[in-house]
């Protein structure tokens, strides 16, 4: 494969971890890897380069706009001008999905989303977990034009290969019209202590079995004692007990920690697809029949409100 474009998402002044994963994988698959980003490209050039990007294209300062319309239109213009890559890899996150959707409609190519694996066998093939990850579906694009792949976090390792800083250039953005009318008025950052959910070595998640919002404090405390991050099932996010940024699963984060502790979580397929990749799973649930036990290395049949306080006490006593 000759050339891959990777959408380089930002985490402040750095490259977002998921984009580093995509750059690393692309370096494996293609002769030339090019990043496409927004804002100050020079800021990200060294990091993007050391993970495999030879070039970094930026659409420049967004001035309070969302990245979707501008990044997609700039890519589409290059493709229409005959400068098409073989594939475009996009992070499966909020801005990534906006970019992929707009690009798809602009260049009239469909999108493969929820990608967790990529192999090159006479063209790229994608792997997707279906039915909660119990089956793996392999798909590919047919027809002409670049494929658009939206890839989930932790599908590939991010490896610094020590490449030189990427050369930065600025891509012109065509006239965008009505599609570009959204403005960010204010940004809110929900502070959280400790490591990030999708980077933590230990993740402790709570579910509806906690019984009440207050009981989530035990999850946070336990996560802190283990140097990990606190996660949640969608049931308690929807109930407003914890912010969405804690959600693990199909519509939340994918995590692959050394240890995942599920407390009061039933193990719905949509939850399991986000945490099945953990090296070790501990589940605490009062229902012996809970599906979560079918994938737990250690299953404790018991009441979270009894087991967790004792576990916390025992760990506190050691520290």
Partner 1 sequence: MNVVVCTKQIPDPANPGQLSPDTHTLVREGKLILDDSDAYGVELGLQLVEAAGGEVMLVSMAPHAEVSGLRTALAMGAAKAILVSDEALVGSDALSTAKVLAAAIRRTDPDLIIAATESTDGYTGTLPVQLAQLLDLPSVTFAKRLSVADGKVRADRQTESGYDEVESPLPAVVTVTAGVVEPRYPSFKGIMSAKNKPIEQLSLADLGIDPSAVGWAGARQEVVSVVSAEARTGGEIVVDDGDAHERIVAFLEQLKVI
Ligand X SMILES: Cc1cc2nc3c(=O)[nH]c(=O)nc-3n(C[C@H](O)[C@H](O)[C@H](O)COP(=O)(O)OP(=O)(O)OC[C@H]3O[C@@H](n4cnc5c(N)ncnc54)[C@H](O)[C@@H]3O)c2cc1C
- Supply the minimum distance, in Å, between the C-beta of residue 250 and partner 1: 6
Segment interacting with ligand X, rule: CB under 6 A, options 67-75, 151-159, 182-190, 201-209: 201-209
* Pair of tokens at residue 83: 């400068």
Q: Is 122 one of the binding residues for partner 1 (CB under 8 A)?
A: no
Q: Is 154 one of the binding residues for ligand X (CB under 6 A)?
A: no
- ∠ Cα 254 251 225 (to 5°): 45
- ∠ Cα 42 45 50 (to 5°): 165
Total site size for ligand X, rule CB under 6 A: 29
Reported as half-sphere exposure (CB side, CA atoms, 13 A), residue 314 has a value of 6
CA distance 237 to 199: 20
CA distance 53 to 216: 42
One residue of 3, 154, 271, 276 binding ligand X per CB under 6 A: 271
CA distance 313 to 315: 5
- Supply the minimum distance, in Å, between the C-beta of residue 149 and partner 1: 11
Report what 301 binds from partner 1, ligand X, none; CB cut-off 5-8 Å by kind: partner 1
- Residue closer to partner 1 by CB (options 157, 185) is 185
Segment interacting with ligand X, rule: CB under 6 A, options 5-13, 24-32, 50-58, 205-213: 205-213
Residues 47-106 that bind partner 1 (CB under 8 A): 66, 68-69, 72, 93-94, 97-98, 100-102, 104-106
3-state SS assignment for residue 28: helix
3-state SS assignment for residue 170: strand
Residues that bind ligand X (CB under 6 A): 207-209, 211, 233-236, 247-252, 264-266, 268, 270-271, 274, 284-287, 290, 303-305
């Amino acid at each position: 494969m000759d050339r891959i474009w990777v959408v380089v998402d930002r985490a402040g002044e750095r490259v977002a971890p998921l984009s580093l994963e995509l750059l690393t994988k692309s370096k494996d698959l293609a002769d030339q890897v090019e990043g496409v980003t927004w804002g100050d490209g020079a800021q990200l050039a060294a990091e993007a380069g050391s993970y495999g990007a030879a070039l970094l294209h930026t659409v420049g300062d967004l001035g309070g706009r969302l990245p979707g319309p501008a990044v997609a239109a700039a890519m589409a213009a290059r493709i229409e001008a005959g400068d098409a890559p073989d594939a475009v890899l996009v992070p499966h996150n909020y801005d990534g999905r906006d970019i992929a959707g707009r690009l798809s409609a602009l260049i009239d190519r469909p999108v493969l989303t929820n990608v967790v694996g990529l192999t090159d066998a006479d063209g790229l093939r994608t792997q997707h977990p279906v039915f909660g990850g119990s089956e793996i579906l392999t798909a590919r694009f047919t027809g002409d034009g670049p494929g658009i792949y939206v890839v989930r976090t932790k599908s590939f390792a991010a490896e610094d290969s020590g490449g030189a800083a990427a050369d930065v250039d600025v891509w012109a953005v065509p006239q965008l019209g009505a599609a570009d009318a959204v403005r960010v008025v204010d940004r809110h950052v929900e502070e959280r202590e400790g490591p990030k959910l999708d980077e933590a070595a230990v993740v402790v998640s709570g579910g509806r079995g906690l019984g009440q919002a207050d009981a989530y404090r035990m999850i946070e405390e336990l996560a802190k004692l283990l140097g990990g991050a606190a996660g949640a099932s969608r049931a308690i996010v929807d109930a407003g007990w914890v912010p969405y940024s804690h959600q693990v699963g199909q519509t939340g984060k994918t995590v692959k920690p050394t240890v995942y502790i599920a407390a009061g979580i039933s193990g719905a397929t949509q939850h399991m697809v986000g945490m099945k990749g953990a090296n070790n799973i501990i589940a605490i649930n009062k229902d012996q029949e809970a599906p979560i036990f079918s994938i737990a290395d250690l299953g404790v049949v018991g009441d979270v409100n009894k087991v967790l306080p004792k576990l916390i006490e025992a760990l506190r006593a050691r520290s």
